[in-house]
Amino acid sequence: MSDVSSQPVLAEQPILGPLARPTVQAWEKRSAGQKLRMLSIGDGALSLGSILLSGFVLVLLASLIWSVLSLGVKAMSWQFISQNNIYITPTTSLEYGGVGHAILGTVIIVGLSTLITVPLGVLVAVYLTETREKPRGIVRTLVQAMSGLPSVVAGLFIYSALIVGLRLGYAGWLGSLALIPLMLPTVARVAEEALRLVPQDLRNGALALGAPAYRAFLMVTLPAAKSGLITAMILGIARVIGETAPLILTVNNTNGTTVDPSQPMASLPTYIFQFIANTNDTSVQRAWGAALMVLILVAILFTAARLVGRPKKAKK
């Protein structure tokens, strides 16, 4: 990439510039110096614009992270991480209560979802990479199209199918189900990439030694793609850990600590949603504290994904 830009192209332009545009009369009349200046203005504008605009993206991200860090840290303390929300009103001082129950709820809801989605997503990836069946194109397109599924629709789906349809009560595991269609596209896509990176020769070698296809996959392809598949799982978790709307529609928020997913449970996103609805200073600070917790979890997952993905991932 950089070898193109580092070539001394500009020096040749006074001679070559007119050759590229032999029909433009106005261009021909200009002196070589003028041409060079105009061309370099274009180049400068492109470089400057590119740097400014990408710098702006960086500023947005920095502002986002800095706000969460600086505002969230005010609420942060050991009891904020460990305690639950019983007896806490919007005006209770920050010395009492916390997000312990919400962290636990998030871990359980997302964990259950992961247990179902990761095998499903990896199997979809297997279908896309290891078989030569015709509908692969449709499946791939559909899975990618699913990545744009509005999260509120996923919640409505579980609500209409199970809560209205089967008359089940609000419960943590329903939230896990609602997260599946949101998590599946990420897992399937990253897993597909991981399996695709395994050289075809490895598979052929195993098959040539007489291994049935399933053993070739389990004993050769799967170990070779292991780190990529773990990355797929982690990125899938990171994708859904902050999802709010589906949980609001399917899991009732609670203030107490629950470990039973058949009951309503708290989760970090719904905790933020609950407290930002009040305008008291302490409520808002609790919301920022919970947002910082979410961001910390995402950062941990993100770092884990990079660490796991590093040794195997050969850059194309």
- In the stretch 241-280, what mask flags binding to another protein with x, by CB under 8 A? xxxxx--xx-------------------x--xx--x----
Rounded CA separation 287/104 (Å): 17
Scanning residues 74 to 93, which ones bind another protein (CB under 8 A)?
A: none
Rounded CA separation 283/27 (Å): 65
Tokens standing for 118?
Answer: 């990761």
Shortest Å distance, C-beta 118 to another protein: 11
| Cβ distance to another protein smaller for residue 10 or 86 | 10
Stretch that binds another protein, among 80-88, 179-187, 224-232, 256-264 (CB under 8 A): 179-187
Stretch that binds another protein, among 36-44, 76-84, 166-174, 224-232 (CB under 8 A): 36-44
Scanning residues 195 to 214, which ones bind another protein (CB under 8 A)?
A: 196, 212-214
Stretch that binds another protein, among 78-86, 92-100, 161-169, 258-266 (CB under 8 A): 161-169
| Cβ distance to another protein smaller for residue 87 or 206 | 206
Residue 85 and residue 255 in contact, taking contact as beta carbons nearer than 8 Å: yes
Rounded CA separation 74/88 (Å): 18
For another protein, which residue of 76, 94, 102, 294 counts as binding (CB under 8 A)? 294
Size of the site for another protein (CB under 8 A): 109
For another protein, which residue of 26, 52, 166, 314 counts as binding (CB under 8 A)? 52
| Cβ distance to another protein smaller for residue 4 or 314 | 4
Rounded CA separation 140/125 (Å): 9
Residue 181 and residue 157 in contact, taking contact as beta carbons nearer than 8 Å: yes
| Cβ distance to another protein smaller for residue 29 or 316 | 316
Residue 91 and residue 278 in contact, taking contact as beta carbons nearer than 8 Å: no
Q: What is the CA radius of gyration of the chain?
A: 27
* Torsion from C-alpha of 144, 145, 151, 154, nearest 10 degrees: -100
For another protein, which residue of 102, 179, 188, 233 counts as binding (CB under 8 A)? 188
Is 157 a binding residue for another protein by CB under 8 A? The answer is yes
Rounded CA separation 73/27 (Å): 60
- In the stretch 112-151, what mask flags binding to another protein with x, by CB under 8 A? -------xx--xx-xxx-xxxx-xxxxxxxxxxxxxxxxx
Rounded CA separation 249/230 (Å): 30
Shortest Å distance, C-beta 25 to another protein: 17
Tokens standing for 122?
Answer: 């990896």
| Cβ distance to another protein smaller for residue 2 or 87 | 2
Q: Measured between alpha carbons, how far apart are the two ends of the chain, in Å?
A: 13
Tokens standing for 230?
Answer: 């773990």
For another protein, which residue of 80, 170, 173, 288 counts as binding (CB under 8 A)? 288
SS3 content of the chain, % helix, strand, coil (to 5): 75, 0, 25
Residue owning tokens 């209205």: 164
